[in-house]
Structure 1
Amino acid sequence: RLAKQGIARCLLLTRRIGKGGSIKNAIPYTRGDYIVLLDADIPLHPVTIYRAVLLARKLGIDLVIANRVYRTHTLLRRVLSTAYNTLVNLFFRTGLRDHQAGFKVLIRRAAQIILVRRTRTDGLAYDTEVIVWAKKHGLKYKAVNVVWREQRTGSTILPLRALLTMLADLVMLRLLTLARKYVALQKLAIGRVVELSNIHTIGQEFITVIRASGPKKHLLDILRKLYIAIAFRRR
């Protein structure tokens, strides 16, 4: 309904490729000076979004990141999250406590640099990769405390499986940041981007793959096979 009224633009990807891949494919069709990334269940108050955009404009910040000070998560998810964030800081020294929150505000220039050109991950580690590349490119980022109340119940994501796939993504990201001379990113078309208001194809859907040479190619192949084995294993 919103798409037909021209209030919102709704896109459909013909292939299911994960959270990160969906965002990367949607960015070229956005408008405006600021881009807001937010989980579909809208787990925070709308005023928080408004304040984050104002903060970015006032301070000239390239990327505003959510730091969830209250979360309706199970004890297991909180423990795994703490372990994951500790590991991210050991690898990349971002200085942040939360690398997984699904809320960010970026200026368009930062979105083009990070979301379109640099990010590889199509899955759950996408939020972390955005932060890592922002630091790598010298962009200004700031974390803001938010109250996070997830509206979803009965998540289909298994915490341990998600953690293992994200760890595999972290290792691949570490290799990318350390050895860009031997590693390149390539976009592969796998489907179509469809405008739902008129059911017309407006572009190609793509995934990002790593092209490597030397010893790192063999390591990346092992990590890729491990990732697939974990992510697509039956419950």
Structure 2
Amino acid sequence: MVGILTAVLGIVVLLRERGSNVSLALCLLTTSVSIWLLSAGTLYATRQAPLALWWAKAANFGVVFIPSAVFIFTLTIAQRLREFQAVAWGSLTVSGLFYVGILATDRFLTGVYRYDWGYYSRYGPLGLLFLVFLAGLLLGSLQLLRVELTRSSPGVPRQRVKLLMVALGVGYLGAIDYLATYGIAVYPFGFVPILGFVVLMTGAVWRYRLLEITPALAAEQIIDTMA
């Protein structure tokens, strides 16, 4: 259910923000998260190990692109995507290489664990390297938003950045799910903070919008109001 809600959020924002760069970046993020959650839900319900491994690979397709998607979304919000364009493309490339590692070797995804709640991904050495990559991009994204907060003018722009920081911070708590990938039997309740992220992000979109207010857009909105 949370995976579906996350996908819906991405689509709604894409339509509401008229296909802006920010909405496209958020849609990339919500798509990655949705693939992870929906595939993980099917993984837990699977009863056969070979099929469980297939669903684990599907879930991790979404997982490996989440850090890159968060980073690109943050760069777009902060209007620094051009400045860090090479880093953004590099992060996507690294995410892709991690998934190649999942498909071509057993150094990332070594198999599946069988827990009380069902099967779960089992990470190897490359998985640990991915977690370092994940932590670096997530912390870097928060730092970018912190800088953007200091640069934002008082009022709506600053409130919007604050709410986005809170939304991402809550979503980051979903990283608790990685404990189970190394044999620590903690139930993967990462969908709960992700639900919080969806609620907060929806509030940010509805109250403040994500589209940057340019003179052209402002004029268009005035005309729409007068029509």
* TM above 0.5: no
TM-score bracket for this pair, using the shorter chain length: under 0.3
Please report the TM-score for the alignment, with normalisation by the length of structure 1.
0.27
TM-score by length of 2: 0.27
Q: Which has the larger radius of gyration?
A: 2
Q: Which has the higher helix share?
A: 2
Tell me: higher relative CO, structure 1 or 2? Use CA pairs within 8 A at least 6 residues apart.
Answer: 1
